[in-house]
């Protein structure tokens, strides 16, 4: 089994906040994503983050989660917390209730170059990728992962999930400016996070894995027995498409030509090739816009492994010793 994170939290390396830089988004309203597209209240190419929950997928505009790095609400009687770290570009989604305690979270600081969460109930700090409380009175408590949030365009999300609901939020001028400042460095090869984060970020990081540059972007995939990182640069060398074995199954990893972000899901195929913007598999199945299309033309659900479109520092420090595709 892959070892997750270092065994001991080093509080001396942590930037701990008692008051968040940006307030939590308390989700009060959702609308039909398909209807929002028809009415023009969201653009077709707007980047969204999708949580494909079984009851009904929930969709966030990535811009809103840049303005509010933490969002929480109740969805079909499920209390949830969504977190988006603009430093390492990871977006996660958890059940916010453990046993009978419903935790409410805010932005809590930085550790290992990634955002921490802080709960209002105990003032403890949580790893936003693993969902584990790493420091405080409930240290060791574990949130249940619902899934990770995947990047798509709004149009793609509506095609893949016709019943999806879009979170509505109104941002003021200051919040829009904050989102803009976080978005500018988010995917840069050498990001400029500004004087505050730039000054404290290196000191929060433990011994780094130097096999790749700290800020390399790629897709990290993990399962019980394996963790593998697919650098964007390496994927581009393979025509934006990889089909290989991962944790005993066949995994398709590709850079979507519309959203320009990598994604992965399990398939049953020996070969995969591009035809325009469509991936053709040798079993008669095709893939377009993040949707699996069977040979009869019907869409079928895709099975996604745990995955994060994330900087190398975040994935390698969460999964020490992970494999790197192409190495």
For residue 1, the model assigns a pLDDT of 42
For residue 6, the model assigns a pLDDT of 62
**pTM here?**
0.94
Q: What is the dihedral of CA 165, 23, 122, 132, to 10 degrees?
A: 60
The number of C-alpha atoms within 13 Å of 34 and in the hemisphere containing its C-beta is 8
For residue 207, the model assigns a pLDDT of 87
- With a cut of 70, list the residues of the chain below it in pLDDT: 1-7
DSSP three-state, residue 242? strand
103 phi and psi, to 5 degrees? -85, 140
319 phi and psi, to 5 degrees? -125, 75
Domain locations in the chain? 11-182, 217-324
> CA angle, corner 243, sides to 241 and 247, nearest 5?
135
Q: Buried b / exposed e across 241-253, counting CB within 10 Å, b at 16+?
A: ebbeebeeeebbb
* Tens-digit pLDDT profile for residues 175-225: 999 999 999 999 898 898 888 788 889 999 988 999 999 999 999 999 887
The number of C-alpha atoms within 13 Å of 193 and in the hemisphere containing its C-beta is 17
Helices (H), the chain: 33-39, 62-67, 154-160, 173-183, 195-200, 232-237, 312-318
């Amino acid at each position: 089994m892959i070892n997750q994170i270092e065994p001991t939290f080093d509080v001396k390396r942590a930037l701990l906040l008692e008051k968040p830089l940006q307030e939590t988004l308390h989700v009060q309203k959702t609308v039909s994503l398909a209807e929002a597209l028809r009415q023009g209240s969201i653009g077709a190419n707007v980047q969204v983050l999708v949580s494909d929950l079984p009851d009904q997928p929930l969709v966030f505009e990535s811009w809103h989660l840049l303005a509010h790095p933490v969002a929480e609400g109740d969805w079909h009687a499920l209390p949830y917390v969504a977190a988006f770290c603009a430093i390492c570009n990871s977006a996660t989604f958890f059940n916010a209730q453990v046993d009978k305690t419903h935790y409410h979270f805010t932005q809590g600081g930085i550790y290992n170059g990634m955002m921490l969460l802080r709960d209002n109930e105990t003032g403890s700090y949580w790893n936003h990728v693993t969902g584990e409380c790493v420091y405080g009175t409930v240290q060791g408590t574990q949130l249940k992962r619902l899934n990770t949030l995947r990047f798509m365009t709004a149009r793609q999300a509506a095609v893949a999930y016709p019943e999806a609901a879009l979170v509505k939020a109104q941002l003021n001028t200051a919040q829009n400016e904050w989102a803009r400042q976080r978005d500018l460095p988010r995917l840069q090869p050498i990001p400029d996070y500004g004087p505050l984060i730039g000054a404290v970020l290196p000191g929060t990081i433990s011994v780094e894995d130097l096999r790749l540059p700290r800020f390399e972007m790629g897709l990290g995939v993990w399962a019980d027995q394996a963790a593998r990182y697919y650098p964007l640069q390496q994927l581009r060398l393979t025509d934006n498409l990889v089909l290989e074995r991962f944790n005993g199954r066949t995994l398709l990893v590709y850079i979507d030509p519309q959203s320009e972000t990598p994604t992965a899901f399990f398939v049953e195929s020996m070969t995969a090739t591009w035809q325009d913007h469509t991936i053709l598999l040798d079993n008669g199945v095709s893939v377009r816009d993040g949707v699996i299309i069977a040979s009869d033309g019907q869409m079928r659900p895709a099975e996604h492994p745990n995955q994060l479109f994330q900087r190398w520092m975040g994935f390698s420090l969460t999964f020490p010793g992970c494999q790197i595709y192409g190495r």
